[in-house]
Amino acid sequence: MLALIARVKALLLTPGPAWEAIDREEADPRRLTLRYVAPLAAIPAIAIIIALSVVGVQAGGDWHRAPIVSVLLSAFIFFGLTIAAVFAFAHIIDWLAPRFGTQRSYRQAFKVSAYSITAAMVAGVLAAWPALQVFALLGASYSLYLLFLGVPRVMHPPPKSSVNYSIVVIFAAIGVALVVGMAAMLAAGPSGNPFPQFPRLQFLEQSDAPVLRGPEAAPPDSTGMLRPGGGGQVSNGDLRGAAPARLAGLDRVAAGVERTGLPGQRTVRLEAEYRGGATSLSLQVVYSPSIAQAIGFGGVSTSEFDRETADGYSRRRRAGDAIIVEDWNEASQSGSYGRLVEDRFYVRATGRGVSPQDLRAAVELFGQETLAQFAAGS
Question: Band of the pLDDT at 199, cuts 50, 70, 90?
Answer: very low
pLDDT computed for residue 63 by the predictor = 55
Q: Which of 286, 263, 270 is nearest to 234 (CA)?
A: 270
Length of the chain: 378
Q: What is the H or E stretch that residue 18 is in?
A: helix 15-24
Q: Is 180 or 64 the better-scoring residue by pLDDT? A: 180
What average pLDDT does this structure show over 349-364?
A: 92
Contact 338, 346 (CB under 8 A): yes
pLDDT computed for residue 305 by the predictor = 87
pLDDT computed for residue 239 by the predictor = 79
Contact 167, 147 (CB under 8 A): no
Q: What is the pLDDT of residues 210-239, one digit of tens each?
A: 333 333 344 444 333 333 344 555 555 677
Q: Which of 154, 141, 107 is nearest to 12 (CA)?
A: 141
Question: Band of the pLDDT at 343, cuts 50, 70, 90?
Answer: confident
151 Rama sector, left if φ>0, alpha if ψ -120 to 50, beta otherwise: alpha
pLDDT computed for residue 347 by the predictor = 93
Q: How high is the mean pLDDT of the chain?
A: 80
pLDDT computed for residue 27 by the predictor = 84
Q: What is the pLDDT of residues 127-167, one digit of tens each?
A: 777 667 677 788 888 999 999 999 999 999 999 999 999 99
Q: Which residues pair with 252 in a beta bridge?
A: 274
What average pLDDT does this structure show over 16-44?
A: 92
- DSSP 3-state assignment of 19? helix
Q: Is 355 or 194 the better-scoring residue by pLDDT? A: 355
**C-alpha torsion sign, points 203, 204, 205, 206:** negative
Q: Which of 367, 223, 351 is nearest to 285 (CA)?
A: 367
In the chain, beta strands by DSSP E? 57-59, 62-64, 211-212, 246-247, 250-260, 267-276, 279-287, 305-308, 312-319, 322-329, 334-341, 345-352
The whole-angstrom separation of Cα 157 and Cα 145 is 18
pLDDT at residue 315 tops 50: yes
The residue ranges of every structural domain in the chain are: 2-186, 211-376
Q: What is the pLDDT of residues 30-43, one digit of tens each?
A: 999 999 999 999 99
Q: Which of 55-64, 231-240, 345-354 has the lowest mean pLDDT?
A: 55-64
Question: Band of the pLDDT at 56, cuts 50, 70, 90?
Answer: low
Question: Band of the pLDDT at 377, cuts 50, 70, 90?
Answer: low
| % of the chain surpassing 90 pLDDT | 42
**106, 156, 308 from 96: Cα distances, Å:** 11, 12, 68
pLDDT at residue 256 tops 70: yes
| % of the chain surpassing 70 pLDDT | 80
How many Å separate Cα 132 from the centre of its chain? 11
pLDDT computed for residue 193 by the predictor = 43
Look at the pTM and tell me if it is higher than 0.85. no
What average pLDDT does this structure show over 49-74?
A: 68
Cβ neighbours for 12, distance < 8 A, ≥ 6 positions apart: 118, 119, 122, 142
pLDDT computed for residue 64 by the predictor = 58
Q: Which of 247, 196, 180, 246 is nearest to 41 (CA)?
A: 180
The whole-angstrom separation of Cα 108 and Cα 104 is 8
The whole-angstrom separation of Cα 278 and Cα 272 is 17
At CA 70, angle to CA 183 and CA 60, rounded to 5?
95
pLDDT computed for residue 89 by the predictor = 95
Q: What is the pLDDT of residues 260-306, one digit of tens each?
A: 877 667 788 889 999 988 899 999 999 888 887 777 788 777 888 89
pLDDT computed for residue 360 by the predictor = 92
Cβ neighbours for 366, distance < 8 A, ≥ 6 positions apart: 226, 230, 231, 242, 285, 345, 347
The whole-angstrom separation of Cα 252 and Cα 226 is 23
